[in-house]
Amino acid sequence: MARRKTLAKNPYYPLTDAQWRAIEESEVVPPPKKIGRPSTDARKIINGILWIQDTEGSWRNLPPEYQPWKTAYHRMRVWTRNGVWQEITNALKKVQQTHSNAG
């Protein structure tokens, strides 16, 4: 996924492949369930949450490519409550620090 050309407020939006790998390797995002309704794409939801933080927009204005806004909003609330969102941001910070130290 290519970075936007505009100056982003959020250095993690949109997720790069390296950032997504760091999140996956941290194993903080719960794996998809094997039964029931098909799981939503966690990367799209995280990008949607980052879009909200970057644009300071409302959840109802979340572009549809990031999943339904209610799904992204609910996931953000659950992840914030149980510490997953903090772990996701920690993984993103590590990638940014590694990239900054390398360059």
Q: CA–CA separation, 82 vs 61, rounded Å?
A: 25
Structure tokens that stand for 56 in this block? 């300071």
> Quick check: 45 and 32 in contact, CB under 8 A?
no
Per-residue pLDDT band at 9 (split at 50, 70, 90): confident
Question: What global pTM score does this model have?
Answer: 0.84
Q: 75-101 burial, b for 16+ CB within 10 Å, e for fewer?
A: bbeebeeeebbebbeebbeebeeeeee
Q: CA–CA separation, 75 vs 7, rounded Å?
A: 27
Q: CA–CA separation, 13 vs 87, rounded Å?
A: 16
Q: Calculate mean pLDDT across residues 68-88.
A: 96
Q: Give counts: helices (H), strands (E), the chain.
A: 4, 0
Q: Calculate mean pLDDT across residues 78-93.
A: 95
Mean of pLDDT over the chain: 87
